Chain A
Amino acid sequence: MEKSKLKEKVNWPVTILLIVGLITVLFPLYMTVVIAFKSPTEMTNTIEGILSLPSTWSFDNFAQAIAVTDFWHSLLNSVLITAATIGISILLHSLVAYAIGRNMTHHKPFRLSYYYIVSGMFVPFAILMLPLVKETAQLHIDSPIGVVLLYVVFFMPMNVLLYTGYLKNIPVALEEAARVDGSTTWSTYWKIIFPLMGPMHATVAVLTALGTWNDVMTPLVIMSGNITTLPLAQLTFQTQFGTNYNLAFASYLLAMLPMLIFYLFAQKKIINGVINGAVK
C-alpha cells in the first residue's frame, strides 16, 4: 500500500522546472504577438519598448500585412497545394502500396519496385533541384500543379513504406472472402482495404501536411511568376517590410496562425502521426 501511494506522488520539482522551461518555447511566440500588435512609434530603442504589452491592441498591422503580402491569395495557394497533395497521396500511395505489399513476397517485380521507391528517401532535394527547375519549366508545370506533382513523388517513399508496413496487419483472408463472392481486385481494395487503413491515412495526412504546408524550397525554385504560398510570401515580401518590424511580425503571425489553430484542434492526431511516421 505504502509503495503504490509513493508511486502516484506528483514530482513537483520536475513539474516546476518544466513550467519554467516553457519560457524557451513561449518567449519567441510572446515576442511575435506583442510586436505584431504594436505601432512602430511604441518601439522605443529599449528592451522594455520592444517587449512590453502594446498600449492599444490594434489590428492595423494585420490589415496592412494582408494587403502587402497578398495574404488571401497566398493562403489559398497553400491550402490548395496542401489539400491536393494530401488527397492524392492518400489515394495513390495507399493503392500502390497495396499492389506492392500484397505481391512482394511472391513476385520479384513488385519486390524490386518496393526497394526502388523506398530508396528514394535518401535522395536529397538539393540534387534534384537544379534539373527539376529545367524539367518543370519545359513541361510548363512551373506552377502549383507542378509543386503538387513533385510533393506526391517526394512523399511516395515514406508513405509507401508506412502503408505496406500497415498492410501486413490486415489479413489477406478478408480479400479472399470478397473475391470468392466475385468482387474484383479493384473494388475489393476500395470497399474493404482502403477503409481499413484509416489510422494510417491519418498518419500520412499529418506528415504530408506538415511537410508541404511549411515547405519553402520546392515552391521557391519551381513556381515562376507572382504565385506564392504562405511561407514563401514571407521571403518574397521581406524587402517590402523594410525596417517596419511590426508589419513584418504581423505577417509572420498570420503565417503561423493556420497551423497553430489546426494544432489546437488536432493536437493528439498530429503528435500520434509524427510518432507513427518516425518509429515505423
Chain B
Amino acid sequence: MHFGKNMRTYYLILIPILVLFFAFNTFPLINGLIYSFTNSKGYGGFDWVGFRNYADLFTDTRVGNSYLFTFKMAVVGTIVINVLSLVLALALNSKIKFKTSLRGLYFIPNILGALVVGYVFNYFFTYILPFLTNTTSILADKGWAWVAVVAVCAWQAIAMNTIIYISGLQTVPQDIYEAGALDGASGWNKFRYLTFPLIMPFFTINMVLSMKNLLMVFDQIMSLTQGGPAQSTESISYLIYNNGLAGGQFGFQSANAVIFFVVIVTISVLQMRFLNSREEQL
C-alpha cells in the first residue's frame, strides 16, 4: 500500500527520462545502423545496398588512411601523455615550494577550448617554430603534420592526466616509503616496486581516457590542419563529419561510424580487462 505508492513515484521519474534517453541516444544509434545499409546522400531518396558500404570501407584508401593516422596518433599520444604526466605528477607531488600555485598553473591548458588552442598553435607551428628550427612549417609537411596534432592534444591532456596521477599519489601511504627505505628501495626501484603498483588504478583510468579522447579527436584537426596536407591528418571523426555531411556520403560514412563505434567499444573493453588483470597480479 504505502510501498506501492512509492514505487509509482519512482517509475514516474524513471520512464520519461528513459524515453528521452532513448530518443536522442539509442534511436539515432539505430538510425545510423539503418542508414549504413543505404546509399543515402543525406538528402533526397535512397536505395538499400545491403553490406556494400561495409565491403567498400575495407577497400577505400581514404578511410584506411584515416584509421592509420588516428591509431598512430592515439598510440603515440597515449604513451607520450602518460609518461610526461606521470613525471610531472611525481615532481608536483614532491616537497617543492609554491606547490598549490604550480599545480594550478599546470592545469590551465585543460580548461581552454581545444579549437581555440588549436588556432593558437597553428600560428606557432606556421610562424614561430620554423624561425627557431630554420625549417618549413611541419603543418605543411605530409610526414610530420601528425606530430603537431599529437603535440597539441598532449599539451591539453597532460594537464588533465597529471591531476589524476597526483590524486593517485596522494592515496599512497607515507609509511610504505619508510618501510621501503629500510629495505634499501630508492629512486627507480622505489617507483617501480612501491609507487607504481599502488597507483595502478589511476594508470588504468588515464590510459583508457587518453586513448579514447585521442581516437575521437576532432577540434584539433579542424583548427590545425583540416585533415591536410594531402589528407595525411584526417581523423576518423573528421572524415565522418566532412564527407558524411558535406560530401554526399551519408550512408557510406554511417557504415564507417558503425565500425568506429565497434572499434572504440572493443578497445575500451580490452584495455580495461588487460589493465585490470595487471592490477590483480600486482
**Contact surface of A with B, Cβ cutoff 8 Å:** 7-12, 14-15, 17-19, 21-22, 24-26, 28-29, 31-32, 35, 46-47, 50-51, 92, 95-96, 98-100, 102-103, 107, 109-110, 113, 116-117, 120, 122-135, 149-150, 152-154, 156, 179, 184-186, 210, 213-214, 216-217, 221, 231, 234-235, 238, 245, 248-249, 252, 255-256, 259-260, 262-263, 267, 270-271, 274-275, 278-279
Contact = CB atoms under 8 A, between A and B. Distances in A.
Nearest to B253: A130
Contacts of A270: 107, 111
A50 B127 contact: yes
Contact of A267 (B6, B104, B128, B209): B104
Interface of B: 2, 5-7, 9-11, 13-14, 17-18, 20-21, 23-29, 31-32, 35, 42, 88, 91-92, 94-98, 102-117, 119-121, 123-124, 127-128, 131-132, 155, 159-160, 163-164, 167, 202, 205, 209, 216, 218-219, 222-223, 236-237, 240-241, 244-245, 250, 253-254, 257-258, 260-261, 264-265, 268
Given A31-B120, A128-B32, A271-B163, A92 B111 contact: no
Interface of chain A, main secondary structure: helix
Given A47-B128, A153-B20, 10 more contacts: A15-B96, A22-B102, A25-B159, A47-B131, A99-B13, A123-B25, A185-B6, A231-B116, A252-B119, A260-B112
B14 A99 contact: yes
Given A11-B94, A26-B105, A256 B18 contact: no
B187 to A, nearest CB: 14
Contacts of A263: 108, 111
8 contacts: A12-B97, A122-B264, A122-B265, A124-B261, A127-B32, A127-B258, A128-B24, A156-B25
A25 B109 contact: yes
Interface of chain B, main secondary structure: helix
A259 B132 CA distance: 31
Contact of B9 (A96, A131, A185, A271): A185
Given A28-B120, A92-B17, A99-B13, A130 B245 contact: yes
A130 B25 contact: no
Contacts of B26: 120
B86 to A, nearest CB: 14
Contact of A235 (B110, B123, B223): B223
B257 A127 contact: yes
A18 B21 contact: no
Contacts of A126: 216, 218, 236-237, 240-241, 257, 260-261
Contacts of B27: 131, 135
B250 A130 contact: yes
Contacts of B258: 127
A179 B9 CA distance: 14
A24 to B, nearest CB: 7
